Structures are given as C-alpha cells and as structure tokens.
C-alpha cells in the first residue's frame, strides 16, 4: 500500500474515533498509533497534519494531539452572533488576565505556574469534615446576612488585629470578587489608580474592567517606595492605592517596617484609600512573625483590607473578607445587595467550622514547613541548572519566585520553549501596569506534585536556557 493510501485509510479510521470522543480528549500517542495500525511514523504524521488542517484536532508540542472544539456547520440554520461585535462596548482587553496555563495541565507538564496549592497540600480531609458538619446545621440553607455570618466576621476581625471589630467586616466570595467590588466602590470610571510595579494581574484586570487607569509606582527590595508614592499621588490626583505589603505577588517582598506606617500616612495625606491585599497571611515560611496587617493600626478608614482563604486552603473555598470603616462600609454593603445579596451560607458555615477547629492551626503550621522546604529546593535547583537566572528576592513567604532572565533570553519565547519541554512558568509582562523594565518570569513551588518535580522542572528550564 502506498504512503498516500495508507494516510487516507488512517485518516478515515481516526475520523471515526474522533466522532466517539469529546473536545479536549487526548488521542493516542504517535507510537501507539504506529503499533496499533501497523503504519509508518510518516503515515501517522501526515494523517495528524491533515486532521489538524481540517480543524478536527489540535496538536500541542510536548503534550499530544487533542480533539478540537466542534464547529457549527455553515448554512441557513447556523447561529449568527456577529451583531454582538457592534453591540458590546470595546473593553474586552480589560478583562484579559493573559494566557495562564489551562487547568488541569496535560499529563507530564511540571506546574511551576500555578497560583494555588497542589491538591496534596490542601486540607482536603478538614474541608470535607467542615462541609459535612456545616450541612447538618438546621439553618444551613437559610438566607445569610448580607454582611456575612456574625461568628465568621468575628474570626476575620480577630485575625486582622485588636482594633478591628466584627461590624467592620464584610464576608466576600473570595479575594478576586472583593477587588472587583472595591475598584467600583472607591472611585469612578476614568480615574487613575496607583499600583505597585510589578503587581498582581487579577487586580489590574479588575481595575481596568471598572474603567480605571492603572498607574505604576516602583518598588525596591524593601517594597513600595514612599517618596515616589507621594509624587504619584500629587501628579495624578489618584484617590486609590492597591498594594500587597506582605509576601507580595509576584516578588515575595515584605514591606519594610519603617515604610508600613509611611505609606499609610502618604495615602491619608492625599485623601486616598489604600487597598491592602493580604492574601498571603497564612503563607509565611516560618522565618519570623508575619507583620501585622496595615489595617490593624489604622483607625481613620484609610486602609481597606482584603483577605481570602483560597490560597492557604483550596481554590474552591471562595470565602474572603473586606475590612473597612466609615461611609465606605455602607456603600459596600449596598453593592452586595445589588450584586449577589449574600455569600452562600453553607460555604460560610464550612469556613467557620474550618477556622474554628484545631486542625486549621495544624494545617497552617505544616504548610509553613512545606512551603519553606519547597522554596529552598526550587531556589537551589535553579542555582544549579539556571545559574544566570537571577532570583530577585530571597522569599520568606508566599508561593513564588521572581526571576530576572539574562538579556539573551526573551521572556515570551522562554515561556513557550519551556512549555514545549514540559514545564509551565508565567511570563513577567503580565505583572506590570505599564511596560516592564526587564525580562522577568514568575515560577512557583506550591502547585507541583513534589520536590522531585521541582528539581525536574528546574532541569528542563536549564535546557531552555542553554538553547540561546
């Protein structure tokens, strides 16, 4: 049989197999197809190429071949949604978080890009038990108060500091939803908002989706620079600053003690709100006490505090809190009634069960040790295999390392090449409100399956660096 007829026969067989699969399913590997159908590697390659050209499959180098999304057949009955291009306002780019790796990643990919704990590090047993106990409560499915369950608000208040009262707390559906609400509540569309540079891409997206204009304020190894912050307020007239004073994402920096008071004072002098994103409070590595939240020492309502349980527990525990004082509190509660009335009561009850039991403290202590060890493993492996990739900050908490690449490496090309070799990392440009001032990538040590995977990931990155 000629190569062309062998290819046509294999294409026919694969089309029949594709009809039984669903979009996203993985086809057998080339080696399996060669063995199963008794054809040559060239025949398999040509058959896959033909199906890809037809749009029936999608090939991902280093990962495999997958069933492509189904396409509507052209014809009179086909839906036509082209009118929406005219009807929708042109702000889709504001909602773009970049191109983080899909979840879950294909088998064999070492995940150094994930922003959550690997399932083995999550307190699954505690979460299951907490949810089961919560579901058995007689009022578990009743409507929850708009501000959140009083006992849960008391827990968040206690964690924030002695000056915070439960009435200052609004329970939210995670940290991202809280940021979206705050950017809409604290200023008006078209206004400037100050951001540390670099910063969390989700916060940038939330601000842009609210019609706001992010303005970068540079950082150094001690965090946000107060003198530049004062200049930025004066030059822009901004009335909101977003910052992450503790275990900053992506750099891991902790705002220096002498600066913590200074930036609050600068914001107050400007008549501005300071949004304190405290997502990483439970992600310290045990090198010393975690600094008090800025809100703990602020009684004038300058600081609006955001916290969440998703990072130290599970991405599906969508429970967080906003702590605010003054008229803004009434505005936020009013927005809650407009947006979604209240956060799911069973989830709030489960969070309360989780935080109130002794198992939570044991989990946080164990997580502290694990994250410290993983950070050390990845740092050492990168020093060995990627010697000229500079770790900008020796982290004392959080989930990531911030790396400056040598000038010979383009960050986007490096990320793509890493993916082809089976390791996922994040491109640094996503973390800058304006143009980045250097070639950066973010690598994480919490989403990989093990320390061995971290070492393997660093080894593969070393192979990428050696290709330039």
Mean pLDDT, rounded, for 179-191: 94
- What phi and psi, each to the nearest 5 degrees, are found at residue 59? -100, 140
What is the location of CATH 3.40.640.10 in the chain?
Answer: 124-356
Mean pLDDT, rounded, for 129-152: 90
Q: Which residue has the higher pLDDT, 313 or 436?
A: 313
Model confidence pLDDT, tens digit, residues 205-244: 999 999 999 999 999 999 999 999 999 999 999 999 999 9
Round to whole Å and give the CA distance between 144 and 153. Answer: 12
What's the pLDDT score for residue 173? 92
Residue 197 confidence (pLDDT) above 80: yes
Round to whole Å and give the CA distance between 229 and 133. Answer: 47
What is the location of CATH 1.10.10.10 in the chain?
Answer: 3-67
Model confidence pLDDT, tens digit, residues 134-145: 988 888 888 889
Model confidence pLDDT, tens digit, residues 316-373: 999 999 999 999 989 999 888 888 888 889 999 999 999 998 999 999 999 999 999 9
Q: Tell me, which fold does domain 101-116+361-465 have in CATH?
A: 3.90.1150
Q: Looking at domain 3-67, which of 1.10.10.410, 3.30.43.10, 3.30.70.2860, 1.10.10.10 is its CATH number?
A: 1.10.10.10
Model confidence pLDDT, tens digit, residues 10-21: 999 999 888 888
Instruction: Say if CB 302 and CB 264 are below 8 A apart.
Output: yes
Highest averaged pLDDT of the listed ranges 14-18, 102-106, 339-343, 379-383 = 379-383
Quick one: CA torsion of 390, 413, 217, 89, rounded to 10 degrees? -160
* Chain-centroid distance, C-alpha 446: 12
Domain 124-356, second-level architecture = 3-Layer(aba) Sandwich (3.40)
What's the pLDDT score for residue 101? 45
What is the location of CATH 3.90.1150.10 in the chain?
Answer: 101-116+361-465
Tell me what the pLDDT averaged over the chain comes to: 89
Residue 99 confidence (pLDDT) above 50: no
**Burial tier of 382 (Cβ tally within 10 Å: 0-12, 13-18, 19+):** buried
Q: Which of 65, 52, 56, 47 is nearest to 5 (CA)?
A: 47
* Chain-centroid distance, C-alpha 20: 35
């Amino acid at each position: 049989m000629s190569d062309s007829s062998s290819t046509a026969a294999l294409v026919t067989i694969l089309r029949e197999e594709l009809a039984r699969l669903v979009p996203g399913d993985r086809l057998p590997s080339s080696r399996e197809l060669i063995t199963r159908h008794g054809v040559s590697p060239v025949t398999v390659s040509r058959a896959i190429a033909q199906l890809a050209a037809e749009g029936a499959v999608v090939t991902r180098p280093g990962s495999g071949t997958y069933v492509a999304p189904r396409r509507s057949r052209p014809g009179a009955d086909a839906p036509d949604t082209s009118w929406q291009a005219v009807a929708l306002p042109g702000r889709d780019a504001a909602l773009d978080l970049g191109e983080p790796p899909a979840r879950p990643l294909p088998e064999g990919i070492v995940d150094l890009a994930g922003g959550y704990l690997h399932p083995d590090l999550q307190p699954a047993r505690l979460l299951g038990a907490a949810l089961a106990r919560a579901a058995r409560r007689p009022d578990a499915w009743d409507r929850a108060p708009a501000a959140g369950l009083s006992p849960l608000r008391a827990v968040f208040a206690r964690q924030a500091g002695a000056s915070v009262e439960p009435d200052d707390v609004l329970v939210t559906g995670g940290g991202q939803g809280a940021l979206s609400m705050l950017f809409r509540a604290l200023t008006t569309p078209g206004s400037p908002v100050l951001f540390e540079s670099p910063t969390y891409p989700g916060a940038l997206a939330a601000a842009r989706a609210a019609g706001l204009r992010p303005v970068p304020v540079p950082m150094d190894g001690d965090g946000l620079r107060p003198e530049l912050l004062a200049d930025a307020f004066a030059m822009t007239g901004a009335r909101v600053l977003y910052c992450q004073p503790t275990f900053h994402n992506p750099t891991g920096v902790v705002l220096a003690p002498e600066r913590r008071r200074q930036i609050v004072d600068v914001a107050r002098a400007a008549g501005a709100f300071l949004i304190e994103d405290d997502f990483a409070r439970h992600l310290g590595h045990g090198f010393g006490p975690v600094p008090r939240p800025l809100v703990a020492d602020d009684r004038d309502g300058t600081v609006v505090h955001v916290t969440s349980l998703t990072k130290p527990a599970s991405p599906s525990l969508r429970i967080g809190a906003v702590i605010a004082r003054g008229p803004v509190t009434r505005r936020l509660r009013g927005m809650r009634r407009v947006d979604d009335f209240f956060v799911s009561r069973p989830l709030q009850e489960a969070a309360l069960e989780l935080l109130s039991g002794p198992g939570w403290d044991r989990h946080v202590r164990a997580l502290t040790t694990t994250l410290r060890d993983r950070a050390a493993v990845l740092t050492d492996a990168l020093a060995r295999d990627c010697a000229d990739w500079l770790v900008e900050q020796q982290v004392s908490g959080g989930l990531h390392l911030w790396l400056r690449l040598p000038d010979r490496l383009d960050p986007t090309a490096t990320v793509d090449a890493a993916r082809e070799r089976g390791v996922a990392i994040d491109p640094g440009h996503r973390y800058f409100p304006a143009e980045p001032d250097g070639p950066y990538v973010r690598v994480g040590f919490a989403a990989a399956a093990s320390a061995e995977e971290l070492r393997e990931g660093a080894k593969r990155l070393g192979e990428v660096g050696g290709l330039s």
